[in-house]
Amino acid sequence: MDCATRERQSWLAAIAIIAALSIAGCESTIVGSEVEGTDRRHVDGANLDLLDPGDYPTTAVPLTVADGTGVVLEGQRMADAVVDPSDVDAALRHLRPFNTGAVQNAEALRGVLGLSRVGILRSHNLIAGFASSRDSEGGSSPSTSLVNLVMRFPDGLGASATAAALAATNAAQVPMAIPRHSDAVASAYDMGHGVIVESFAPHGPYVLYQWVQTKESVETATGLVARTLDLQGPQIDHFVPTDSSRLASLSFDTDGLVAHTLPAEIEVFSATAGEYSARGTLHFQTDPVASAALFMRAGVESVSLRESVVLQTRDPAAAARLVDELAGHAAATGATEISGVPGLPNAICVDVDMAANRTSSRFHCHAFAGRYAFETSSEHQDDAREKTVAQYLILRQYR
């Protein structure tokens, strides 16, 4: 598959992590590396003579960042301190990718808060934010959905004023009290076949926002908001914000792991791309409960998101176990194992076409290099294999 025809994939999932990214140009430059024996086998069993990365790059490619990067990086830092809806109700496991991630600017929140509120966010000097969104299972018509968004403003007075101004745009809806949270300004809308409850609560320099749509009762919706706030207030209190004057100096890739994560074919800066803690990464998982258990067993320390997903584990043995467990989890949810990657015996590839609630590309390959486990995905199985080879070769230079 050549560079012109390769799929330009907007959202990819590897353990179901979603990222909207791309890379300019295609190239394939396999650099020299140490040789184990006359058959050019590496210590992990890879046969360099059989590895085919196609047109993908095989050396590190730094991600070109844009203006406003500091705002995005601060939002990514906030991911650790934002409550995932699955922590509120374990039934809320189905990812809503377009409403999940760091806030790039006020305009980026038009899909969550509505276009009419963008001006309010701008006038009150929104600094950064992070949103996490999930549905209960139910295909295109889930019984319940929850969006949890934390927005940071310059100070507590600004956050209070913003919450009041945003809530005032809901004058046509019915005011609603949130149990245990008298400071939350909430309203409800009766859809006839269910309700929507929207809530704004100032909390120090933050506005805590929840949006619940459910086919159940209004009490169910307000109960979800209350439980989210029970968790979210204490969680954000542990976050240490970066002084707004220093946002521009935040480093995007301090240890080089993002540069050593496979880039996409046409790449622009995205609010999703970057390096996250294990906990922060759970926001992007299709099954955060299962992923949390996998990450804990493997001692995952950080995760880099780009065209592929790289997970830094405690050691090579843990990375090998994580690859097996990721493939096993895929099989348990309906994926079928297919032939692997020639020359890379530790790679396991699967077809998730028949998996329950598939939201990602059809073909996935899991592999590891040293203590780094990784996953690639594509609608074409040979393309997924080429990505896997390229990512393996890039990581060999990083270890």
| Among the ranges given (192-196, 240-244, 262-266, 356-360), the one the predictor scored with the smallest mean pLDDT | 356-360
Query: What does pLDDT average to over the chain?
Result: 85
What pLDDT sits at residue 234? 97
pLDDT band at 353 (very low <50, low <70, confident <90, very high): confident
Helix H, strand E, coil C: the string for 4-37 is: CCCCCCCCCCCCCCCCCCCCCCCCCCCCCCCCEC
pLDDT bin (cut points 50, 70, 90) of residue 20 is: very low
Whether 165 has a pLDDT exceeding 70, the answer reads yes
**Residue extent(s) of CATH 3.40.1000.70 domains in the chain:** 69-237
CATH topology of domain 69-237: Protein Transport Mog1p; Chain A (3.40.1000)
**DSSP calls for 38-98:** TTTB-TTS-BTTT---TTS--S--PPPP-TTHHHHHHHHHHGGGS--HHHH-TTEEEE-GG
Question: What is the Cα–Cα distance from 68 to 249, expressed in whole angstroms?
Answer: 11
Separation of alpha carbons 213 and 144, rounded Å? 6
pLDDT of 44 above 80: no
Residues 292-323 pLDDT 10s = 999 999 999 999 998 999 999 999 999 999 99
The whole-number average pLDDT for the span 40-50 is 76
Percent of the chain with pLDDT over 70: 84
The pLDDT value given to residue 140:
63
Tell me: the pLDDT tens digits for 219-238? 999 999 999 999 999 999 99
Asked if residue 351 lies in contact with residue 368, where contact means CB atoms within 8 angstroms, the answer is no
CA dihedral 268, 269, 271, 274 (to 10 degrees): 110
Q: What is the pLDDT of residue 357?
A: 55
Q: Where are the beta strands (DSSP E) in the chain?
A: 92-95, 101-102, 128-136, 144-152, 174-176, 185-190, 195-203, 206-214, 274-277, 302-305, 309-312, 336-338, 348-351, 363-369, 372-378
Mean pLDDT lowest among 278-292, 321-335, 345-359: 345-359
Number of neighbouring beta carbons within 10 Å of residue 372: 25
Which band of pLDDT confidence, cut at 50, 70 and 90, is reported for residue 67?
A: low
Q: Tally Cβ neighbours within 10 Å of residue 123.
A: 12
- pLDDT greater than 50 at residue 30: no
Percent of the chain surpassing pLDDT 90: 63
| CA-closest candidate to residue 326, choices 307, 350, 306, 345 | 350
Q: What is this structure's pTM? A: 0.83
